[in-house]
Amino acid sequence: MTQVSIFDWSICLAYLALIIGLGVYFSDKQKNNDDFFLGGRNMHWLPVGLSLFATTFSSNSFVGLPAEGAFGNYHQLLAIFFIPFVVIPITCIWFIPLYKGWGFKSLYEYLEHRFARPVRLMASLIFMGYSAGWMGTMLLAVSRILNVVLDAQSTSQTILVIVIVGALATLYTAMGGVKAVIWTDTIQAFALFGGMIFVFVLLLAKIDGGWTAFVARGGEAGKFDMFRTDGGLSERNIFSACAYGFFVYMGGQLASYGAFQRYVTVDSVKKARLALVIKGVFTLCSCTLFFLVGSALFVYYQQDHLEIFQQLSDGRSKDQLLPHFVVNFAGGFGMTGLILAGLFAAAMSSLDSGINSMTASLVTDWLKGREIGTFNNRLLTIVFGTGVTLIACLLSLINSPVFDILLSISGATLGLLLAVLMMGMLLPRVNTMGVVLGLVAGLIVFLLIRVGIPGLSDEALGRLGPLAGLKNNTWWDGLFTTVTAVLVGVVVSLLTSPPRDEQLRGLLLREHR
């Protein structure tokens, strides 16, 4: 096992103590559901914006984005650019005033008014499924890094640390509610961003020829490509990047309970918009930095350690490239401790948000928002945190890059949530039966793509033609899921009775523009 010095562990433990301390600080400020889940609706926009960023880009980004920059190109970064340049402007201009004007405690409360209570509960279940899978992949990313940092020879060693991280995040989330989540996410955003700046500067210093060689070698290898139009459905090109960037990230911004929860923790439309601007700026800068780090890793390993780079270029090993550099080549006393602290920061910034949002959805959607007491809110938080940690332990056995797993989960769940929300807000003719059957159709199409196509023989794949390319490209999942659900929802609604007037009044986007 790689020797981690006492100083390294001290850095890591000091960070964890700070995070737990914030949970303790906010523990006596939780008086009711509004305090625990919505922060009293008077949070400052800056930490809320940083929390939105930290939640979206966590340990998955910590390992997944540099790996994509090293082994692939910048088409995934093009997809991410949809967040600051497309998704956030649309959300700020049209949807934030609507969300703030409703006064709902849950985003899915809207679906009960627009359609029926079963639709609200279906949306809540889909969101919980997304959150569980998302947090599971996040902790999976933790295990990938710890395999390198600790040189773990057994699954039990990795699972032990996953359990510890999950338990700590669950603890401070249960104690401090959403205020602890948002303020710890703020610290974690800076820890994540600052750590990557340090790694990038260090890499440039170690590359023979510095910045000039980095740009030249990366350009020659096509690492900075992000506008390719060649290839079919199997290729990561400008078309699949746009499909992924719009449908997955739009779904996450508009239809996720967690995002809505952040919007209503501030007390005005202006502050919610400012929080989203902060997320957009940090997303643009940090994700570009993640990819630059990945490209620099590619150039560094090509110059001096080509054999190691090739060994790490398959399956789950791709996620270990960044930690491998830090542990083996970064040098410097305390660097391993910093990377561990950054890893825990990234992991817990997602875990705390997901656990709190799942608990909030259960209380507001299934228990109709009734006050069950802070003790019971904390107990539910612990139950969800324990369940997600167990799921992550099972996912640690999967041999795929974390981002591929995450995108498949997101395409199915966020695509469905986006479809039902857009049908409700934009299409007044859509009724409850149309939405329910649309959700079912979208789920079936997703299963056919992700389960059916991979199980086909080579001969059967040949008969599918271009559609066979979907087998190895999860970037299209959100588009196919969303479009199918909307098309079926519209057709079924046109063949059945229209919704009642009270299901439309004040619930359509055009009435608030």
Please give the full DSSP string across 389-445, using - where no structure is assigned.
HHHHHHHTT--S-HHHHHHHHHHHHHHHHHHHHHHHHH-TT--HHHHHHHHHHHHHH
Mean pLDDT across 95-119: 92
Of residues 29 and 107, more confidently modeled = 107
Quick check: helix, strand or coil at residue 6?
helix
CA 224 – CA 77 distance, rounded (Å) = 10
For residue 5 the two structure tokens come to 């010095």
CA 6 – CA 12 distance, rounded (Å) = 10
Q: How high is the pLDDT of residue 439?
A: 96
Which stretches does DSSP call E strand in 188-231? none
CA 17 – CA 184 distance, rounded (Å) = 11
Choice among 137-141, 218-222, 500-504 with the minimum mean pLDDT: 137-141
Per residue in 158-175, pLDDT (tens digit) is 677 677 777 776 776 666
Highest mean pLDDT among 16-30, 83-97, 334-348, 383-397: 83-97
Residue 325 pLDDT greater than 70, yes or no: yes
Choice among 112-121, 145-154, 470-479, 495-504 with the minimum mean pLDDT: 145-154
Q: How high is the pLDDT of residue 217?
A: 95
Mean pLDDT across 80-103: 93
Choice among 109-113, 124-128, 299-303, 457-461 with the minimum mean pLDDT: 457-461
CA 200 – CA 474 distance, rounded (Å) = 29
What residues contact 215, with CB distance under 8 A and at least 6 apart?
A: none
Residue 266 pLDDT greater than 60, yes or no: yes
Q: Which residues of 161-190 are buried (b: 16+ CB within 10 A; e: fewer)?
A: bbbebbebbbbbbbbbbbbbbbbbbbbbbe
Local confidence band at 1 (pLDDT 50, 70, 90 cut-offs): very low
CA 420 – CA 122 distance, rounded (Å) = 10
Give the global pTM. 0.86
- From the centroid of its chain, how far is CA 342? 17
